[in-house]
Every structure is written in C-alpha cells, then in structure tokens.
Amino acid sequence: MVAVEKSFVTSMFSVEGKVALVTGATGALGCVLSKAYGYAGAKVFMTGRNEAKLKALEEEFKAEGIDCAWFAADPAKEEDVKACIAACVAKYGEVNILAVCHGFNKPASVLDQSVEEWQYIMDADCKSVYIVTKFVAEQMVKQGKGGKMVITTSQRSKRGMAGYTGYCTSKGGADLMVNCLAADLTAKYKINVNSICPTVFRSDLTEWMFDPESQVYKNFLNREPVGRLAEPSDFVGYALFLSSAASDYITGANCDCSGGYLVV
C-alpha cells in the first residue's frame, strides 16, 4: 500500500491563508516574493526602511486583491524588529512564514575599507538576520503552530571574491546561522529554517551587469550552465516550496539556486 494521501499531494505547495512577513520588501527580490505570496493566497506583511515605497506597494497589491500591510523598520535594529512583529501580529494575529530578502554591500579592498564600513555590512547582512529570526522565532514558538523561515543569502557565502571581505563573510555567517537555527528550532518547535543562495539577479543595482556586450556579463555566463543571469521571479518557486508543507522534511539547507554557478 502506498503511504501517501491525495489531499496532501494536492495541497502540499499551498500557503493560502498563511501570514508571510517579508523583509526587504521594497527591493527587487522582496517585492516580487511579496506579490508572489499574495497571489498564492497568503496575507503579506511587508517591511523595509523606505516608507514611501512600502505605501506604494500596498496600493499596487491591494488593487490586485492581495491582503497586505506594511511597517517601516530597519532589520538591524532590535527595537524596530520587535515593533514590526508586534504590528504584524496586531494586524493578522500571527506570523507563519518569514522571508528575509534584505541585504547590503559596498565592495572595497581590505586595504581601503574602514573597519566601520565593514562592520556596517556585517550588521546589515548577518546581525540583522539574527535579530529578525530570533524575534520571529519567539513569536512562532508562542503560537505553537511551527513555521517556515526562508533566508536569502548568496553564492558568495561559498566562495571569496576580491573586494568582498564584508559581503562574503556576512553571507557565509548567515548560511551557518541557518544551520544552527534549524538545530535549535525544527525538531522541538516545528520551525523549518532554510536559505536560498542565488548569484546575480536583476535589480536597480545590478542592471549594468546585464549588458550582453560587457565583459562582466560574458564572464558570468561562462560560469552559468543555465545560460543567463537570473530574474527575481526565478526564486518564487523555491520560496513558495520552502514556505509550504512540501518542504517539511527540509531544514538547515543552504539551497543552491544559482543556475549551476558552482558546477563549472
């Protein structure tokens, strides 16, 4: 007898009715994942530092029938994060999914980058992940229903690069943190924690890399078996999968979604 139920198979990718808290919602990836969660039937609570952009996203999403709200907050500031989670719970009653999409980089050689600038990158990309996951985890434990955390890191967590002593270190730390969070939270509290690790995807900051005549673009394609650079929408399926019951047996994973970048 095959031990699988039809009801599970037909609903395992569903996030309908769940409350998804998305950080970095005003960025290229964050706004796409926010809308994707909304299209999939989740209630979306967006956060970022740009209040005007958050308000514009809310108006755009509500016009398409998405149930959403927002709260302006800096993910690296403990009090901001606590207030954001409280606002989400006040609006929707709980948090079921956390999607961490924020990040920052300012490349510079170790010889040129100040300690203060390096620390800012570490705080923005690593310390902030700890703060957000810690307080969302506390909320999820209080609810007693488990939960899903999807943390966006980078393939730069796996390989160094000139000028990236801050970014690579912070993303490597975030991926190791995901492993530890899973060990802390999954077996006891049913909170699955995983990261997705992309390479370059299109955004306002990376648009210049998409010029097919540039050497940067050509160099990347030499390392991308999929044959192109990524669009933010390329990560929607992964995020929804890791947010749904389909991924209940996956935790602590640093998931490669790089177009095969590490293969070559």
DSSP line for 133-195: HHHHHHHHHHHTS-EEEEEE--GGGTS--TT-HHHHHHHHHHHHHHHHHHHHHHHHH-EEEEE
Q: Which CATH superfamily is domain 11-201+231-256 in?
A: NAD(P)-binding Rossmann-like Domain (3.40.50.720)
Whether 198 has a pLDDT exceeding 90, the answer reads: yes
Q: Is the dihedral of CA 78, 34, 166, 72 positive or negative?
A: negative
3-class DSSP state for residue 72? strand
Instruction: Assign 142 a pLDDT band (cuts: 50, 70, 90).
Output: very high
Contact status, residue 160 vs residue 171, Cβ threshold 8 Å? no
CA distance 49 to 66: 21
Mean pLDDT of 80-91: 98
Mean pLDDT of 251-256: 97
* Mean pLDDT taken over the chain: 95
Mean pLDDT of 180-189: 98
Nearest CA to 199 among 241, 242, 150, 232?
232
Active site residue 238: no
Nearest CA to 67 among 1, 16, 120?
16
Whether 157 has a pLDDT exceeding 90, the answer reads: no
Contact status, residue 254 vs residue 197, Cβ threshold 8 Å? yes
pLDDT at 206: 86
CA distance 81 to 262: 34
Lowest-pLDDT choice from 82-96, 213-227, 230-244: 213-227
Rounded to 5 degrees, φ, ψ at 75 are -70, -10
Among 92, 164, 167, 238, which one carries the catalytic annotation? 167
Instruction: Assign 223 a pLDDT band (cuts: 50, 70, 90).
Output: confident
Nearest CA to 193 among 148, 155, 238, 152?
148
CA distance 239 to 234: 10
CA 78 to chain centre: 18
CA distance 37 to 58: 13
Domain range annotation of the chain: 11-201+231-256
Q: pLDDT digits over 34-62, tens only?
A: 999 999 999 999 999 999 999 999 999 99
CA distance 114 to 122: 13
pLDDT at 1: 72
3-class DSSP state for residue 41? coil
Tell me the β-bridge partners of 100.
23, 151
